[in-house]
Amino acid sequence: MHDIEVIAKSLRIARVSSLDVSMRTDHFANLRDLVLSSNKAYPDILGWFEAKVIPGLLSSQRVAYVGYVGEKPAGCTILRYGEDVKICHVQVKESFRNLHLGETLMFLVALESRSAARAVHMTLPQSLWEAKRGFFESFGLSSPHRAWKQYRPSDAELVCSAAFSQFWDAATNKLHKLFPLFRLDQSAPTHLVISIQPKYALRIVEGRKRVEIRRRFARKWSGARLALYASNPVCAIIGEATVDKVVSDTPSSIWATFHSDVGCSEEEFLSYVGTASKVHAIVLKNVEPYNRTLPLKEVGEIINMPLAPPQSYCTVQGQSTWVKAMPVARMLHRAPCVITGK
């Protein structure tokens, strides 16, 4: 039995692209090994992989993901692009099931193909449909019928389908399950989104600013994980950090203590604090820049909800749209973090 907190810290998803095939990277080798482990059930699976999958990956008509738990390849999926998306292969090793890896891979299929897809089709053996019917139906895939081409000698090959809108809604509705897998700090009791002027937000992710100054903040947020939102004109999430501690004092005392870490001049500091008698120094640690900036508009479109930027900061809890937005942001950041060439 795996502890979900251990898995959360060790889960990686690699996107296998044309460059991985050309370079014969470890991700490509692991994808191949995972697929070929099904050769007993699919006697010609090597032929399919070499004749269809490799050319498809090289031409960018297909894409694949490999999931890792620690350094161990745990599962994979392969899809073919188009208005009618085809999920060619989904596999999770038995020892890594019940960890939501299959759901994560299916969510990435939805995320990968959402720009053009109208329908999703999947081929699978009848025995798998009967054993895991609830899983596939939870993504809207239903009404299986016998495929025109049969690959297995003793198990009928079925095709099941869903309108992409139905598949997408089902995938995003699973985010509450997937959220723990993409938490960056399991000890954080609360998550916040904090709005910071772009030049200061950039200094934080670059390691040139370790303390954020606020006129209003609460010590109870010590230990919380922050999503760093760079405000207008960037309007994007650019990273995360943990609140090490919150120090509240007079502006003169705060400046004397933290001036080398606030990432601004004394003139800028005094202009911000104004006539405040007390300000708060938010000391940050465990800063993790995102692999690419995530515009609020893009994240809002993915969750199909308008996403309002925080005026200063907001909590990620309850019915807030940020409850759905942050898992998506982490997936967009973390899942492609090992994409070769990106």
Residues 30 and 156 in one domain: yes
Please list, in sequence order, all residues whose beta carbon lies within 8 angstroms of the beta carbon of residue 215, skipping any fewer than 6 positions away: 272, 273, 274, 276, 279, 280
Task: Give the pLDDT mean for 290-301.
Answer: 85
Q: So what's the pLDDT on residue 4?
A: 42
Residue 338 lies in a domain: no
Residue 30 lies in a domain: yes
Residue 49 lies in a domain: yes
Confidence category of residue 56, pLDDT binned at 50, 70, 90: very high
CATH of the domain at 84: 3.40.630.30
Opening angle at CA 124, ends 118 and 130, nearest 5: 115
Q: Which of 181, 200, 225 is the last residue of a domain?
A: 181
Residue 334 lies in a domain: no
Q: Could you give the number of structural domains in the chain?
A: 2
Residues 243 and 163 in one domain: no
Residues 60 and 162 in one domain: yes
- Please state whether beta strands 119-125 and 84-92 pair in parallel, antiparallel, or not at all (unpaired): parallel
Q: So what's the pLDDT on residue 319?
A: 66
Residues 205 and 267 in one domain: yes
Confidence category of residue 176, pLDDT binned at 50, 70, 90: low
Q: So what's the pLDDT on residue 27?
A: 93
Residues 87 and 66 in one domain: yes
189, pLDDT greater than 60: no
Domain that holds residue 205: 185-318
Residues 116 and 177 in one domain: yes
342, pLDDT greater than 80: no
More confident residue, 273 or 43: 273
Residue 329 lies in a domain: no
Neighbouring-strand partners of residue 225: 191, 242
Q: Which of 181, 213, 231 is the last residue of a domain?
A: 181
Tell me the range of 20-34, 64-78, 159-173 where mean pLDDT is highest: 20-34
Residues 190 and 313 in one domain: yes
More confident residue, 292 or 78: 78
Tell me the range of 130-144, 188-202, 307-321 where mean pLDDT is highest: 130-144
Confidence category of residue 2, pLDDT binned at 50, 70, 90: very low
**3-state helix, strand and coil shares in percent for the chain, rounded to the nearest 5:** 40, 30, 30
Strand ranges in 26-133 using DSSP code E only, listed in sequence order: 62-69, 72-80, 84-92, 119-125
Which residue type, as a one-letter code, is found at position 157?
E
Confidence category of residue 150, pLDDT binned at 50, 70, 90: confident
Task: Give the pLDDT mean for 271-293.
Answer: 93
Residue 108 lies in a domain: yes
Q: How far apart are CA 229 and CA 192, in angstroms?
A: 10
Residues 172 and 216 in one domain: no
Residues 265 and 291 in one domain: yes
Residues 243 and 104 in one domain: no
Residues 294 and 196 in one domain: yes
Residues 253 and 146 in one domain: no
Residue 333 lies in a domain: no
Q: So what's the pLDDT on residue 182?
A: 54
Residue 80 lies in a domain: yes
Q: So what's the pLDDT on residue 226?
A: 92
Q: Which of 70, 75, 60 is nearest to 30 (CA)?
A: 75
Task: Give the pLDDT mean for 317-323.
Answer: 77
CATH of the domain at 281: 2.30.130.30
Q: Per-residue pLDDT tens for 203-248?
A: 999 999 999 999 999 999 999 999 999 999 999 999 999 999 999 9
Q: Which of 163, 181, 199 is the last residue of a domain?
A: 181
